[in-house]
Amino acid sequence: MVSELRGLDVTATPGETLTDALALLARRLRLSHASVEVPATEGAEPLAASYGEPRGRPVTVDLQAGGHRLGVLRLEVAANRDPFGPGDRRLLEDVGSQLGGLVQAVLANRELQRARQRLVTAREEERRRLRRDLHDGLGPSLATMAMRLESVEDLIERDPRRAAELVGDLSEQARDEIAEIRRLVDGLRPPALDQLGLVSALRERAAQDALAPRTVESNRPSWRVEAEDDVEPLPAAVEVAAYRIAIEAVTNALRHSGAATCTVSLRREDGVLRLRVRDDGGGLAAGRRVGVGLSSMRERAEELGGTCSVTSDAYGVVVDAWLPLGDGVSET
pLDDT tens by residue, 159-202: 888 888 888 888 888 887 777 776 666 666 778 888 888 999 99
pLDDT at 218: 47
Percent of the chain with pLDDT over 70: 84
For residue 309, the Cα-to-chain-centroid distance in whole angstroms is 10
The CATH fold of domain 120-191: 1.20.5
Peptide bond connecting 190 to the previous residue in cis, omega within 30 degrees of 0: no
User: Which residues are bridge partners to 220 per DSSP?
Assistant: none
Specify the domain boundaries for CATH 3.30.450.40 within the chain.
Answer: 2-115
Which residues have CB under 8 Å from 249's CB, separation 6+? 264, 277, 297, 319
pTM: 0.51
What pLDDT digit, counting tens, does each position of 14-42 carry?
778 888 888 888 888 888 888 888 888 76
pLDDT at 46: 85
**For every residue of 201-239, which 3-state class applies, written as one string?**
HHHHHHHHHHHCCCCCCCCCCEEEEEECCCCCCCEHHHH
CATH superfamily of 2-115: GAF domain (3.30.450.40)
pLDDT at 322: 92
Specify the domain boundaries for CATH 3.30.565.10 within the chain.
Answer: 196-324
The whole-angstrom separation of Cα 157 and Cα 153 is 8
Say which amino acid occupies 73.
Answer: L
pLDDT at 329: 40
What DSSP state is assigned to residue 97?
A: H
The domain at 196-324 falls in which architecture? 2-Layer Sandwich (3.30)
Strands 222-227 and 272-279: unpaired
What pLDDT digit, counting tens, does each position of 269-306 carry?
888 999 999 888 766 655 555 455 677 888 888 888 88
Specify the domain boundaries for CATH 1.20.5 within the chain.
Answer: 120-191
